[in-house]
Amino acid sequence: MSGNFPIPWPTPGAVPLAWYLILSAILFTLGVAGFLFRRNIITVFMSIELMLNGVNLSFIAFSYRLKQVDGHIFSFFVMVVAAAEAAVGLAIILTVFKNRSTLEIDEVSSLKL
Amino acid sequence: MDVWLFLTFAVIAVGCAINLVLQTHPISSALSLVGVMGSLAVLYLLLGGEFIAAVQLIVYAGAIMVLFIFVIMLLNAGAERRPTRRVVALWISLPLLFTFIALAAVLVESQAPRTEVVRFGGFTGGTAAEVGRALFTRYLLPFEITSILILIAILGAVVLARKEI
């Protein structure tokens, strides 16, 4: 523990790195909350995107800290995977809706019709 | 100046994220997610990630969110009918979430020294040239594998969207 916990006001023009990481943790936690609380399958999917965004912020912040570009590359790959996931996931949602005409996650609890 | 920019867009991001979780209609959630992504792009710029900020706006806020909104419109998804917040689950889970955030904050605060600060312009290695150089030399193999991944995703989406399934 490196000091008193309520984070002191920083010097002007400089943001503590910890603030970025804490913001990232908050966004990730809200994504988890949405993933667990929502019933609409599309909103659950958007919560996953929110979690990915929170992790991306951590990657970029650490990239600044280490003065290396690797974190940017990683978050670039995360975006690519998110795009592929969105395409496939939304196609699955379309198919589920075509077969069961519902978007409630609790009603899609069995794999076979 | 940096602090105010950070605080403004951090508050916007967290507010939009909370709105995403609380709204019952998917369209409202999608618009909140666009807000989160836009403010995160500004934060990436503050951290020196010009290329990633542009990609965030173009790919995430542009392409992926348009896909989401397209599907929401296509399925004519309405608001959730049943109440989503059960009282017991709420009273157990919300303190746990706050505990998790507090734990993460304490951990980050204890590990990251007070002298670690972010100044705008302190890291200029995030330009398109630098990212491209790393992407096509050290990360060439993952990059090529990514193209296979996208090809498979396209095929999967086409197969799933056919009529017979």
Least confident of A39-43, B97-101, B106-110: B106-110
Compute the average pLDDT of residues B119-138. 88
The answer to whether the Cβ–Cβ distance between A46 and B33 falls below 8 Å is yes
Range of the domain at A76: 17-101
Query: In Å, what is the CA distance from A7 to each residue of A4, A109, B114?
Result: 7, 45, 9
Smallest Cβ–Cβ distance between A84 and the set B97, B142, B153 belongs to: B153
The answer to whether the Cβ–Cβ distance between B2 and A15 falls below 8 Å is yes
Does the pLDDT at position B81 exceed 80?
Answer: no
Amino acid identity at A2: S
Q: Which of B123, B135, B146, B151 to mutate to test the interface with A (most CBs of A within 10 A)?
A: B123
Q: How many domains does chain A have?
A: 1
Q: What pLDDT digit, counting tens, does each position of A54-69 carry?
A: 999 999 999 998 989 9
Q: Is A108 on the interface with B (CB under 8 A)?
A: no
- Residue A109 counted as domain residue: no
Q: Are B14 and A27 in contact (CB under 8 A)?
A: yes
Smallest Cβ–Cβ distance between A22 and the set B80, B108, B118 belongs to: B108
Q: What is the pTM of this model?
A: 0.89
Per-residue model confidence (pLDDT) at position A43:
92
Contacts of B59 in chain A (CB under 8 A): 79, 83
Smallest Cβ–Cβ distance between B37 and the set A47, A53, A94 belongs to: A53
> Which residue in B142, B18, B122, B1 sits closest to A30, CA to CA?
B18
Q: What is the CATH number of the domain that holds B22?
A: 1.20.120.1200
Amino acid identity at B72: I
Q: Are A104 and A40 in contact (CB under 8 A)?
A: yes
Compute the distance between CA of residue B41 and CA of residue B55 in angstroms, rounded to an integer: 9
Q: In terms of domains, do B146 and B88 share one?
A: no
Q: Which of A1, A5, A22 to mutate to test the interface with B (most CBs of B within 10 A)?
A: A22
Q: Are A87 and B69 in contact (CB under 8 A)?
A: no
Range of the domain at B146: 127-165
Distance from CA of B45 to the nearest CA of A (A): 10
Contacts of A84 in chain B (CB under 8 A): 149-150, 152-153
Query: In Å, what is the CA distance from B53 to each residue of A16, A96, B46, B107?
Result: 20, 34, 10, 27
Q: What pLDDT digit, counting tens, does each position of A48-57 carry?
A: 999 999 999 9
Compute the distance between CA of residue A76 and CA of residue B130 in angstroms, rounded to an integer: 13
Q: Are A63 and A71 in contact (CB under 8 A)?
A: yes
Q: Is A23 on the interface with B (CB under 8 A)?
A: yes
Q: Binning pLDDT at 50, 70 and 90, where does residue A5 land? A: very low
The larger pLDDT score, comparing residue B4 to residue B79, is at B4
Q: In terms of domains, do B41 and B74 share one?
A: yes
Compute the average pLDDT of residues B93-104. 86
Q: In terms of domains, do B109 and B150 share one?
A: no
Q: In terms of domains, do B132 and B119 share one?
A: no
Computed on alpha carbons and rounded to an integer, the radius of gyration of chain A in Å comes to 19
Distance from CA of B121 to the nearest CA of A (A): 10
Per-residue model confidence (pLDDT) at position B89:
75
What is the 3 state secondary structure string of chain A? CCCCCCCCCCCCCCEEHHHHHHHHHHHHHHHHHHHHHCCEHHHHHHHHHHHHHHHHHHHHHHHHHHCCCHHHHHHHHHHHHHHHHHHHHHHHHHHHHHHHCCCEHHHCCCCCC
Which H or E run contains B118? strand B117-118
Q: What pLDDT digit, counting tens, does each position of B147-159 carry?
A: 999 999 999 999 9
The two structure tokens encoding residue B136: 């096509």
Contacts of A7 in chain B (CB under 8 A): 109
Does the pLDDT at position A8 exceed 70?
Answer: no
Compute the distance between CA of residue B112 and CA of residue B102 in angstroms, rounded to an integer: 15
Neighbours of A5 (CB within 10 A): 12
- Residue A47 counted as domain residue: yes
Q: What is the CATH number of the domain that holds A73?
A: 1.10.287.3510
* A–B CB contacts, 8 A cutoff, strictly below: 245
Q: Are B118 and B47 in contact (CB under 8 A)?
A: yes
Least confident of A83-87, A90-94, A104-108, B125-129: A104-108
Q: What pLDDT digit, counting tens, does each position of B26-51 carry?
A: 999 999 999 999 999 999 999 998 99
Amino acid identity at B114: R
Compute the average pLDDT of residues B120-132. 87
Residue B133 CA, distance from chain mean position: 25
Q: Binning pLDDT at 50, 70 and 90, where does residue A11 land? A: low
Q: How many domains does chain B have?
A: 2
Q: So what's the ipTM on this one?
A: 0.88
Smallest Cβ–Cβ distance between A43 and the set B26, B46, B100 belongs to: B26
